[in-house]
Amino acid sequence: MVSWARLRGFNPQIVGSVQAQPRSRAEIDRAVMRLQTEEFDILLAFLPDQNEADDEDDTPYFHLKSLTVGRGLPSQAVEQSTLNNQYAIGNIIMGILGKTGNIPYILADPLDFADVIVGIDIAREKKKRLAGSVNATAIARIYLSNGEFLGYVIHDTPLEGETIPNSVLQALFPVHEFSGKQIIIHRDGYFRGTEKQALQSWAKQIGAQFHLVEIIKSGTPRMYRSSPQATIQPDTGSALLMSATEALLVSSLPPFKNATPQPLRIRTESSLGIEQALQSVLAMTSLHYGSLRPPRLPVTIHYSDKIAYMALRGIKPKNLEGHIPFWL
């Protein structure tokens, strides 16, 4: 992998290494403590493949993340099967770049109808044995209109229900950062309860304009494209306009040609045209540093499930505001 990186203009230096029994949390902890004495930018861990029968909370990956994220140590885990896949090395390098504070690329054409794009969500996880979900915390991820990642804000108090409280919404959009700006807000799913009213009231108080965009992942019909020979996959970016404020969008294609993509349902308000809402989602979908293949969701709300998994188990950074995407 080091050779692959050097061939592409990177010059990684190995400053230390430790071998440990990967199934032992104590061994991994001792290894991390020994490596902490070195000055390094990222800890690269080679782990055995996870078995389907393994308890998710007792895997080498879980132990590594629980021991590094809270200490502010960027880490990149590589399982054996991934290492054997030469096409995955590019994804690993991209993840390393993002976790070390680099911005590999931005948009060639910034969005000219917004200053900032923010994704908000409650990190939640379904209960294993009972109905409902466990809500962990609210998180906002903030990007400039050119796609540059500015940072994240985590509200660390456990939340009840599906609605983000007014006080939390206000804390996610402090006056000194958002006053006077045009802001697109991506919500993972529907805005709940009085969230829309609370956000618009806060926007008025701080002299900003909030453009609210709902991104619904499920319950949408499939989309196809006709050709003279057959019915085939639509192109990325294909959209079906349902009204002036709602559309279905093919944000990315599945890896197999004989599979059909499930579109996203995009809903906005009259303050932002549906074409602009679609453009904001597509632009943010192209900015995922953790993979060479664009995800289905924009980076503003992508990985919400992974963040929930980590947060509910106490795996979160010491600083609840930061500029390193620890979830990659």
Share of the chain above pLDDT 70, in %: 89
Per residue in 94-125, pLDDT tens? Answer: 888 888 888 889 999 999 999 999 999 876 66
pLDDT band at residue 59 under the 50/70/90 scheme: confident
Query: 3-state secondary structure string, the chain?
Result: CHHHHHHCCCCCCCCCCCCCCCCCHHHHHHHHHHHCCCCCCCEEEEECCCCCCCCHHHCHHHHHHHHHCCCCCCEEEEEHHHHCCHHHHHHHHHHHHHHCCCCCCCCCCCCCCCCEEEEEEEEEEECCCCCCEEEEEEEEEEEECCCCEEEEEEECCCCCCCCCCHHHHHHHCCHHHHCCCEEEEEEEECCCCCHHHHHHHHHHHHCCEEEEEEEECCCCCCCCEECCCCEECCCCCCEEECCCCEEEECCCCCCCCCCCCCCEEEECCCCCCHHHHHHHHHHHHCCCCCCCCCCCCCCCCCCHHHHHHHHCCCCCCCCCEECCCCCC
Share of the chain above pLDDT 90, in %: 38
Res 183 pLDDT > 60:
yes
d(CA 305, CA 43): 23
Per residue in 256-296, pLDDT tens? Answer: 777 888 999 999 998 899 999 999 999 999 998 877 678 89
The average pLDDT across 145-167 equals 83
Which pair of structure tokens corresponds to residue 175? 């006056």
pLDDT band at residue 182 under the 50/70/90 scheme: very high
pLDDT band at residue 52 under the 50/70/90 scheme: low
Res 187 pLDDT > 80:
yes
Average pLDDT, whole number, for the chain? 86
**Backbone torsions φ then ψ of 159, nearest 5 degrees:** -110, 150
Per residue in 7-20, pLDDT tens? Answer: 566 777 888 888 88
Domain 116-322: give its CATH code.
3.30.420.10
Q: Which residue has the higher pLDDT, 210 or 23?
A: 210
Res 37 pLDDT > 90:
no
Per residue in 208-224, pLDDT tens? Answer: 999 999 999 989 888 88
Q: Cα 181–172–122 angle (5° rounding)? A: 125
Which pLDDT does position 88 carry in this prediction? 78
| pTM of the entire predicted model | 0.87
Res 130 pLDDT > 60:
no
- Domain spans in the chain, listed from the N-terminal domain onward: 2-99, 116-322
pLDDT band at residue 129 under the 50/70/90 scheme: low
Which pLDDT does position 299 carry in this prediction? 94
